[in-house]
Amino acid sequence: MKGFRNLSTAARLTLISVVICGLLFPIIMTGIGQVAAPWQSNGSQVYYDGKSIGSDLISQDFSAPVFFHPRNDSASGVDPDITLTYALSQVPRIHNATGIPESFLNATLEKYTQYTMFFFGTKYVNVLNVNLYLMESFPSIYAPYVQ
Amino acid sequence: MLTLEDLFVVAVVWGTVIVLSWFLSSYLLGVFTGRKSRLDRILVPVENFIYLLAGIDSSKNMGWKEYFKTLLYLNAGEAILAFFILMFQQSLPLNPMHYSGMSWSLALNTVLSFSSNTNLQHYNGELTLSYLSQMSAIQFLQFTSAATGLAVGVAVIRGFAGKARTIGNFYYDYVRSLTRVLLPLAFIATIILIFMGVPQALSGYPTVSTLQKGATEILYKGPVASLVSIMQLGTNGGGYFGANSAYPLQNPSQLSDLFEIGMMMFIPTSLLFLFGRMVGDNREGRTLFLAAYAIYGIDLLIAFLSTTVIGRGLEVRIGGVASTLWTVTTTAFTTGSLNASLSGFNPVVILTAFFGMLIQAAPGGVGVGAMYLIMYVIVTIFLVGLMAGRTPEYLGVKIEGSDVKLAVAAFLTHPIIILVPTVVAFAIGAESTVGLAANATGFTRIFYEFTSAAANNGSDYLGAAGNTVFFNVATGIVMWVGRFLPILFMLAIADGVSTRKRSQKQGLKTGSISFVVILVFSIFILTVLTFFPFLVLGPVLQFLQGMKLSIGGVIFGL
């Protein structure tokens, strides 16, 4: 009889817990997120011409020689960033493919450089942001390659 | 090499967490001793309503058998509910991606994993689970297993403190863990995570056309932030995504990375201070804190000295320092979340990860970390007593033969459930079913799998490749035994100690720095002696084999 009471309490507390922790909590947080920070809550999407072109945080498939390329061997497989060193090594290729002066490309990378640790650490750039900036700066060169 | 950057990062993270944990421990003391609080006006009616609905008498003191039985029934009930949600998610709501249900063995593995606070994952969440499963199976069990761990930790501490002369009432500890600790902290953490860039949405996974012509990407936006909050605070570690915290939507920046590291350290650290507060002598809490952080610090130092260069397997935005700090911390606190691929690390880092999981108390997971530290204290006091020829005493209580036997049983549970299944796996050739050979690398990975399962850690090499019936069932059993058997033994000790006579004079000064040194030394000796042959066959051999690569041309080593 006492064993049955324990089981019945366990079953009821299970249901109460799932309603609070597994339904109410995430749903309320979704409501708050969508109101307070809709951009982040929906995946930090970058818009161009009013249309989403993917997330700032997810690497994109850049294979044409006119773009900076991401690397695909990292842990997540969608690392949106590359080290500044790797980006600089791609400058001559992009210059050859587009005719954009190397000095402009280097300046662009400098403009978008971030550090792994606030103001020191490894320097890196976000590939999508750099490519988007190049496209906006040279629309006629990039027109054949973009959506 | 240890750089200035490394030292700066560790100092900032440790400093912040330790100070905040000290304040949290004061709050926890109030929560679990029933001290009046300004929150009572809102929370007491909520808690009373829960007690009423479930038919709970929260004022009744429980013995260790009843405390354990109620805890086990509740965890079993929660696991069963989650099992059915995972198996039948295709017929349930909130599945806009139309994913089908899990196989029985994968669903079994997943619920045993999450209900034991392990979070070993043999699947990729974003490709397998509906929104409902992520919320009402995964996130749900992350809350309840953390609440169970916190309840147990508090019960054991309460027993040793002896003021209440009982280990308490499980339902009271569990409900208050949720309403006053985990839910409020997760609420704050979720909002911070959202602002840092972690999604929180329920509108499906859109496919968008990306910048370059012809390319697309699927945007996996879901209730990620709320899951990550409890996954880290509750030292659960199982992520929304298969790539865990390496995936940018779960960990968008170095700032979020350090925040998430701090979250997993927060509650386990405060429990060490809570011990001192409950006992009524902060030096006793300081002993546990210093011993745990000394071991954690030694692990960190070893890991940093073996340089990790950014390369394969590490995320650029996070970098080598924060990746190494994360990996050592996630195993020291038995969380198990990852922000890099384990195969990207030097074997020495893996060795320190092993130490974190084998010890389980440096400082260990929510609640149970403190419990394991107390276990080591009992064994150490017994050993010192043998050498000095004195009756072992702790906090003025005589430690009896039965206490030592139970503590040793709790300690031995761990090697048995790691070593036996590792040997069985190789004996039946299970390594080949997950694409591994019977060499040092294969051995390290299988040994890591069972160590991680037994320690309720959950980090692993196998990931979705581990989804075979053998590994699902074997690790499932190991996870539950590794979770609940030591809890049973430690509750029994604590209950016995709670009513025992206390003397004012103290034999061994356990609040002293010299005892901290003895404790750390004895933890290392006990662990190394138990696991040495296995560590040699795995990561140590791998390290020695790797030596010849670093001395290019001339072949040294094995």
A115 and A79 within one domain: yes
B558 domain-assigned: no
| Interface touch B191/A32, C-beta < 8 Å | yes
A50 and A116 within one domain: yes
3-state secondary structure of A13: helix
Dig out the tokens for B79 from the structure.
Answer: 């696991």
**pLDDT at B1 (0 to 100):** 60
**pLDDT at B285 (0 to 100):** 97
Note which residues in 47-106 of chain A have CB less than 8 A from chain B.
48, 51-58, 60-64, 67, 73-83
Whether B221 and chain A come into contact, CB under 8 Å, resolves to yes
Note which residues in 19-48 of chain A have CB less than 8 A from chain B.
20-23, 25-27, 29-30, 32-34, 36-37, 40-45, 48
Query: Per-residue pLDDT for B33 more than 50?
Result: yes
Bridge partners (DSSP) of residue A146 are: B212
Convert the pLDDT of each residue in B94-131 to its tens digit: 999 999 999 999 999 999 999 999 999 999 999 999 99
Distance CA B249, CA B194 (A): 10
Chain A residues within 8 A of B243 when measuring between CB atoms: 75-78
Say which of B56, B196, B199 has its CB closest to residue A42. Answer: B199
Residues 6+ apart with CB under 8 A from B3: B321
What secondary structure letter does DSSP report for B249? T
As a whole number, the mean pLDDT across chain B is 92
Task: State the average pLDDT over residues B507-536.
Answer: 91
B131 domain-assigned: yes
Please report, as a single letter, which amino acid is at residue B1.
M
Whether B225 and chain A come into contact, CB under 8 Å, resolves to yes
| Interface touch A25/B318, C-beta < 8 Å | no
| Interface touch A78/B247, C-beta < 8 Å | yes
Say what percent of chain A tops pLDDT 70. Answer: 97
B284 domain-assigned: yes
3-state secondary structure of B379: helix
> HSE (CB half, 13 Å, CA atoms) of B340?
31
A73 and A104 within one domain: yes
CA geometry: angle B76, B82, B85, nearest 5 deg: 145
- By residue count, chain A amounts to 147
A57 and A35 within one domain: no
A97 and A28 within one domain: no
Residues 6+ apart with CB under 8 A from A103: none
Which one of A15, A116, A127, A132 makes the best mutation probe of the B interface by having the most chain B beta carbons within 10 Å? A116
Nearest to B371 by CA among B505, B443, B275: B275
Task: State the average pLDDT over residues B2-23.
Answer: 90
Question: How many CB atoms within 10 Å of residue B192?
Answer: 15
Convert the pLDDT of each residue in A15-66 to its tens digit: 999 999 999 999 999 999 999 999 999 999 999 888 999 999 999 999 999 9
Which one of A42, A57, A146 makes the best mutation probe of the B interface by having the most chain B beta carbons within 10 Å? A57
Task: State the average pLDDT over residues B348-376.
Answer: 90
Query: Per-residue pLDDT for B341 more than 90?
Result: no
A80 and A139 within one domain: yes
Whether B144 and chain A come into contact, CB under 8 Å, resolves to yes
Question: How many CB atoms within 10 Å of residue A45?
Answer: 20
B168 contacts B139 by C-beta, under 8 angstroms = no
Question: How many CB atoms within 10 Å of residue B545?
Answer: 15
B163 domain-assigned: yes
Say which of A44, A114, A128 has its CB closest to residue B197. Answer: A44
Dig out the tokens for B146 from the structure.
Answer: 């953390």
User: Between B122 and B3, where is the model more confident?
Assistant: B122
Say what percent of chain B tops pLDDT 70. Answer: 96
For residue B363, whether the previous peptide bond is cis, meaning omega lies within 30 degrees of 0, is: yes
Locate all alpha helices (DSSP H) within B88-139, ordered by sequence. Answer: 104-115, 125-128, 131-132
Please report, as a single letter, which amino acid is at residue A74.
S
Nearest to B72 by CA among B142, B152, B176: B152
**pLDDT at B334 (0 to 100):** 83
Locate all alpha helices (DSSP H) within chain A, ordered by sequence. Answer: 2-17, 25-36, 38-41, 84-89, 91-98, 102-111, 127-137, 139-142
Distance CA B342, CA B221 (A): 25
Convert the pLDDT of each residue in B460-494 to its tens digit: 888 888 999 999 999 999 999 999 999 999 999 99
| Interface touch A27/B198, C-beta < 8 Å | no
Nearest to B199 by CA among B183, B174, B173, B219: B219
A136 and A87 within one domain: yes
**pLDDT at B558 (0 to 100):** 43
B300 contacts B328 by C-beta, under 8 angstroms = yes
Closest-CA distance, B406 to chain A, in angstroms, reads 26
Q: What's the count of helices (H) and strands (E) in chain A, helices before strands?
A: 8, 5
Chain A residues within 8 A of B340 when measuring between CB atoms: 75
Whether B157 and chain A come into contact, CB under 8 Å, resolves to no
Closest-CA distance, B399 to chain A, in angstroms, reads 32
Query: Per-residue pLDDT for B9 more than 80?
Result: yes
**pLDDT at B312 (0 to 100):** 62
Distance CA B31, CA B38 (A): 11
B95 contacts B86 by C-beta, under 8 angstroms = no
Dig out the tokens for B434 from the structure.
Answer: 């997950």
**Which of B6-10, B121-125, B526-530 is predicted most confidently?**
B121-125
Q: How many structural domains does chain A have? A: 2
Q: How many structural domains does chain B have? A: 1
A103 and A54 within one domain: yes
3-state secondary structure of A45: strand
Note which residues in 63-102 of chain B have CB less than 8 A from chain A.
69-70, 73-74, 76-78, 81
Whether B316 and chain A come into contact, CB under 8 Å, resolves to yes
Closest-CA distance, B10 to chain A, in angstroms, reads 12
> HSE (CB half, 13 Å, CA atoms) of B548?
9
B75 domain-assigned: yes
Task: State the average pLDDT over residues B64-79.
Answer: 98
Nearest to B140 by CA among B104, B98, B97, B182: B182
Compute φ and ψ for A124, nearest 5 degrees.
-150, 165
Confidence of residue B547 (pLDDT cuts 50, 70, 90): low
Nearest to B259 by CA among B322, B178, B311: B322
Convert the pLDDT of each residue in B444-460 to its tens digit: 899 999 999 999 988 88
| Interface touch B200/A27, C-beta < 8 Å | no
A136 and A80 within one domain: yes
Whether B136 and chain A come into contact, CB under 8 Å, resolves to yes
| Interface touch B5/A83, C-beta < 8 Å | no
Closest-CA distance, A45 to chain B, in angstroms, reads 9
B63 contacts B482 by C-beta, under 8 angstroms = no
A65 and A21 within one domain: no
The ipTM (two decimal places) reads 0.95
For residue A59, the enclosing domain spans 44-145
Chain B residues within 8 A of A20 when measuring between CB atoms: 178, 183
| Interface touch A14/B74, C-beta < 8 Å | yes
Structure-token match 């669903």, residue found: B107
Determine whether B163 is exposed, middle or buried from the number of CB atoms within 10 Å of its CB (0-12, 13-18, 19+).
exposed
Query: Per-residue pLDDT for B303 more than 70?
Result: yes
Dihedral over alpha carbons B305, B311, B314, B320 (to 10 degrees): 30
Determine whether B554 is exposed, middle or buried from the number of CB atoms within 10 Å of its CB (0-12, 13-18, 19+).
exposed
For residue B123, the enclosing domain spans 4-550
The angle that helices B224-233 and B254-279 make with each other, rounded to 10 degrees, is 40
| Interface touch A122/B310, C-beta < 8 Å | yes
A123 and A103 within one domain: yes
Which one of A15, A51, A76, A146 makes the best mutation probe of the B interface by having the most chain B beta carbons within 10 Å? A76
Task: State the average pLDDT over residues B119-148.
Answer: 97
A124 and A52 within one domain: yes
Closest-CA distance, A31 to chain B, in angstroms, reads 8
Least confident range from B72-81, B213-222, B288-297, B384-393: namely B384-393
| Interface touch B73/A25, C-beta < 8 Å | no
Which secondary structure element, helix H or strand E, spans residue B276, and what is its range?
helix B254-279
B334 contacts B357 by C-beta, under 8 angstroms = yes
Query: Per-residue pLDDT for B549 more than 60?
Result: no
Task: State the average pLDDT over residues B14-37.
Answer: 97
B529 domain-assigned: yes
B212 contacts B244 by C-beta, under 8 angstroms = no
Distance CA B302, CA B340 (A): 18
Nearest to B292 by CA among B268, B274, B276: B268
SS (H, E, C) B301-361: HHHHHCCCCCCCCECCCCHHHHHHHHHHHHHHCCCCCCCECHHHCCHHHHHHHHHHHHHCC
